[in-house]
């Protein structure tokens, strides 16, 4: 990729992106691909060149990939849900509004489901709303993979939206043994809103662990409601990749690794495998170094968990091109 740089900011060692001519347009002052030396920069300045085409390696970040929930919908949801959480605290929840939000998330996820792209907003001024939306997105991906019908998916997403409603803000510590928020949330919703039992139970048990060491009832294995087993994976994944907390967030790659390494411990192994079949080992947004020396970013997952990598403006099916991933950068 070429960027045009003010000559005052150009440094020795940078590479010229295309031939640079003198003002007459006949004489090449410096050729494309030349590595600039201090003397070259001095000379070019003297010849009246003020901006230079400089070659830079294209480095994409996950912000360059369109999020699963597009920004317009995301912003609306984030605003609305922040109000919703306030309403719950005041005992005024409008269930119809939550159902509408759940349907919007479901529709968007269904539209993109076959693309196998999971790209979430990782930072927001409204962290609790962000966490609710993302947990909803991941849960619905898992729900679709498990064959849930629309009505069941809807209940699952409503549970995801409301699961941390008793939190002031989301917490990164996903093993909240001493935290009573699932009980509080269930109480708030049951008392005021006559909420569906499947939703209430999944919220109550979203911090149970598959090995029975969770909270609040130490339920084990499949005695944990299936919605709660889904929520716990979605909740953990989003909490790990979130940049709303001080300190370093996990990359999507590290978060998937964490989920896999806790399969059968924290999480239901069957549901983990459905989740991984969708996001892949190298999820969307993973920055990788390839065996051909290029650096790229995973833009989606192909069949068989093969990542489609974008590097230097090209889309690479690494299997077809006989390239492998040398290492994960982030
Ligand atoms: Fe929670
Ligand atoms: Fe949560």
Tens of pLDDT, residue by residue over 154-186, are 999 999 999 999 886 666 665 554 568 899 899
Higher-pLDDT residue of 306, 69: 69
Q: Which ligand is nearest to the CA of 244?
A: 2
Which contiguous run of DSSP H or E holds residue 187?
helix 181-193
Backbone angles phi, psi at 283, to 5 degrees: -70, 165
- Residues within 5 Å of ion ligand 2, judged at the Cβ atom: 164, 235
**Strand partners of residue 54:** 3, 16
CA–CA–CA angle 97, 98, 104 (5° rounding) = 90
Q: From the CA of 72, how far away is ligand 1's center (Å)?
A: 27
Distance CA 236, CA 63 (A): 21
Q: From the CA of 293, how far away is ligand 2's center (Å)?
A: 39
Decide: 301 and 116 in contact? Cβ < 8 Å.
yes
Q: Which ligand is nearest to the CA of 181?
A: 1
Q: Which ligand is nearest to the CA of 236?
A: 2
Q: Which ligand is nearest to the CA of 242?
A: 2
Q: From the CA of 149, how far away is ligand 2's center (Å)?
A: 24
Q: Which ligand is nearest to the CA of 185?
A: 1
Query: What is the tens place of the pLDDT at every residue in 58-89?
Result: 666 666 788 999 999 999 999 999 999 998 88
Task: Please give the average per-residue pLDDT across 200-224, as a whole number.
Answer: 95
Task: Please give the average per-residue pLDDT across 20-42, as a whole number.
Answer: 92
> pLDDT above 90 covers what percent of the chain?
68
Query: What is the tens place of the pLDDT at every residue in 231-276?
Result: 999 999 999 999 988 888 999 999 999 999 999 999 999 999 999 9
pLDDT score recorded for residue 177: 45
């Amino acid at each position: 990729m070429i960027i045009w740089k003010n000559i005052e900011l150009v440094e020795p060692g940078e590479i010229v992106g295309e031939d640079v001519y003198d003002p007459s347009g006949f004489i090449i002052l410096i050729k494309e691909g030349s590595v600039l030396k201090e003397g070259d920069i001095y000379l070019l300045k003297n010849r009246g060149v003020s901006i230079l085409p400089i070659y830079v390696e294209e480095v994409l970040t996950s912000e360059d990939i369109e999020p699963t929930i597009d920004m317009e919908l995301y912003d609306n949801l984030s605003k609305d849900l922040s109000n919703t959480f306030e309403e719950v605290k005041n005992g005024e929840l409008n269930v119809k509004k939550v159902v509408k939000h759940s349907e919007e998330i479901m529709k968007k996820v269904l539209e993109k489901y076959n693309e196998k792209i999971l790209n979430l907003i990782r930072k927001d001024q409204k962290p609790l709303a962000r966490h609710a939306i993302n947990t909803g997105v991941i849960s619905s991906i898992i729900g679709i993979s498990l064959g849930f019908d629309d009505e069941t998916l809807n209940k699952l997403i409503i549970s995801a939206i409301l699961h941390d409603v008793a939190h002031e803000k989301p917490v990164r510590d996903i093993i909240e043994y001493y935290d009573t928020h699932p009980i509080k949330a269930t109480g708030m919703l049951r008392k005021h809103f006559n909420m569906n039992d499947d939703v209430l139970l999944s919220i109550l048990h979203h911090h149970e662990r598959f090995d029975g060491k969770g909270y609040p009832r130490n339920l084990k294995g499949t005695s944990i409601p299936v919605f709660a087993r889904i929520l716990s994976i979605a909740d953990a994944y989003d909490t790990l990749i979130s940049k709303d907390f001080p300190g370093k967030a996990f990359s999507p790659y590290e978060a998937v690794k964490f989920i896999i390494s806790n399969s059968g411990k924290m999480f239901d192994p069957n549901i983990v495998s459905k989740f991984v079949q969708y996001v892949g080992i190298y999820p969307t947004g993973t920055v990788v170094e390839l065996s051909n020396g290029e650096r790229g970013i995973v833009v989606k997952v192909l069949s068989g968990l093969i990542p489609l990598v974008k590097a230097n403006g090209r889309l690479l099916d690494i299997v077809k091109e006989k390239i492998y991933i040398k290492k994960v950068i982030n």
